[in-house]
């Protein structure tokens, strides 16, 4: 399988020649200085592996930030901008973002705004970043507990996707990225959903092919609608409520925080249930999908007050228009509806369905 996508804005590589293609690309780019942005996790587990793969030995500066979504803020950006300035970065410098979704989101925003924009490269090290966060040009930071409220759309020069970095991840992080791949299947095809049932990172060849399939699905959608004026909204399936759940758990000290994919998995179940009520998604398929997700993602409990607070957060969703919360819904695999209004009472019923669901089936 040929695993490269080259457009006028960016190049995505995930084949045996990826690193040599990156090297030749950097020679053409000829940056005055190269900075590598990492969090404390990727610095510990991925930096030496990156240097070995990329063959970069000298003349790089490192910028290290604390790990975690809680640090995806404008204050972290200010620290990075200051560091870049102090270390002599100019408009011809390059920022390489080595890490998961927080690093690629935040690093892309930092690069896009520093001196009105410098070039950047994404090297995703988490499954979530490989199939989603590092692709498509969305960069940004959270505003308090509200996810990705401040940002820009700007593409990296290169994205290098190498599954070798997955070996550095705990299982929970793999599962988090898996949720986004399952979302891609729901909005694309039942065949891809079936292929994903046997996802196993130890099967390197198959895993690499499945990751690339998700990359192709996202890239095809983004290419049609780079600014998210219409078609690209389908990528938000499960995210309207998923983001609100993630934000609520992040801000609520009485609850454990959820990884992005863990929250999105809940959002997918809720959105699929809503879809079965509003646009006719098959209820048997709804049951199979819910069962599979609850096999892989631990069920969470939500009180009436939790649900009301989560619904209140929906007013901040970026897809809203004139104060109206708009959902992406599914009529069937690959058949999406955008800009659908959903009542609060139906959202509450969806939560009730999720929490009372009895897992009696295994696969679709």
All structural domains of the chain with their residue ranges: 4-168, 180-197+212-356
End-to-end CA distance of the chain: 27
Half-sphere exposure in the Cβ direction for 328 (13 Å, CA): 28
140 touches 151 (CB < 8 A) = yes
Average pLDDT, integer, range 259-272: 97
Residue 332 in tokens = 């069937």
- Identify the CATH class of 4-168: alpha beta
Average pLDDT, integer, range 213-238: 95
**pLDDT of 198 over the 90 cut:** no
Using 50, 70 and 90 to split pLDDT, how confident is the model at 39?
Answer: very high
Is 1.20.1090.10 the CATH number for 180-197+212-356?
Answer: yes
| Alpha helices per DSSP H over 137-238 | 171-188, 190-196, 204-224
Average pLDDT, the chain: 94
pLDDT at residue 322, rounded to an integer = 66
34 touches 94 (CB < 8 A) = yes
pLDDT in tens, 91-127: 999 999 999 999 999 999 999 999 999 999 999 999 9
What CA–CA distance (Å, rounded) separates 135 from 157?
11
Using 50, 70 and 90 to split pLDDT, how confident is the model at 1?
Answer: low
CA angle, corner 139, sides to 137 and 143, nearest 5?
Answer: 155
Using 50, 70 and 90 to split pLDDT, how confident is the model at 363?
Answer: very low
Using 50, 70 and 90 to split pLDDT, how confident is the model at 59?
Answer: confident
What CA–CA distance (Å, rounded) separates 55 from 18?
12
Average pLDDT, integer, range 164-189: 96
**6-10, 98-102, 339-343, 350-354: the lowest-pLDDT one:** 6-10
Longest CA–CA span in the chain (Å) reads 60
Cα separations (Å) of 289 from 193, 197, 333, 357? 10, 11, 11, 12
Using 50, 70 and 90 to split pLDDT, how confident is the model at 82?
Answer: very high
Q: Look at residues 119, 122, 59, 63 and name the one whose alpha carbon lies nearest to residue 91.
A: 119
């Amino acid at each position: 399988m040929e695993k490269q996508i080259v457009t006028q804005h960016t190049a995505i590589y995930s084949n045996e020649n990826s690193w040599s293609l990156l090297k030749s690309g950097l020679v053409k780019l000829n940056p005055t200085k190269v900075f590598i942005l990492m969090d404390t996790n990727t610095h510990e587990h991925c930096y030496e592996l990156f240097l070995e793969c990329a063959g970069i030995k000298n003349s790089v500066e490192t910028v290290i930030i604390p790990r975690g979504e809680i640090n995806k803020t404008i204050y972290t950006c200010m620290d990075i901008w200051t560091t870049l300035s102090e270390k002599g970065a100019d408009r011809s410098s390059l920022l390489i973002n080595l890490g998961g979704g927080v690093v690629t989101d935040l690093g892309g925003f930092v690069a896009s705004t520093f001196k009105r924009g410098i070039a950047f490269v994404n090297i995703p090290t988490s499954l979530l970043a490989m199939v989603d966060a590092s692709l498509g040009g969305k960069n940004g930071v959270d505003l308090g507990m509200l996810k990705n409220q401040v940002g820009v759309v700007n593409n990296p020069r290169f994205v290098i996707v190498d599954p070798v970095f997955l070996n550095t991840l705990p299982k929970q992080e793999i599962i988090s990225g898996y949720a986004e791949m399952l979302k891609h299947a729901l909005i694309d095809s039942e065949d891809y959903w079936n292929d994903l049932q046997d996802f196993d990172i130890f099967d390197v060849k198959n895993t690499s092919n499945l990751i690339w399939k998700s990359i192709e699905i996202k890239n095809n959608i983004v290419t049609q609608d780079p600014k998210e004026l219409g078609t690209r909204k389908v990528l938000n399936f499960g995210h309207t409520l998923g983001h609100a759940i993630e934000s609520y758990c992040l801000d609520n000290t009485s609850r454990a925080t959820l990884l992005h994919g863990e929250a999105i998995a809940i959002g997918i179940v809720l959105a699929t249930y809503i879809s079965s009520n509003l646009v006719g998604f098959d209820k048997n398929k709804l049951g199979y999908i819910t069962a599979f997700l609850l096999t892989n993602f631990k069920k969470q409990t939500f009180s009436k007050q939790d649900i009301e607070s989560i619904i209140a957060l929906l007013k901040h969703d970026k897809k809203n228009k004139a104060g109206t919360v708009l959902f992406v819904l599914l009529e069937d695999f690959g058949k999406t509806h955008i800009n659908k209004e959903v009542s609060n009472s139906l959202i509450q019923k969806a939560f009730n369905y999720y929490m009372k669901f009895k897992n009696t089936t295994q696969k679709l």
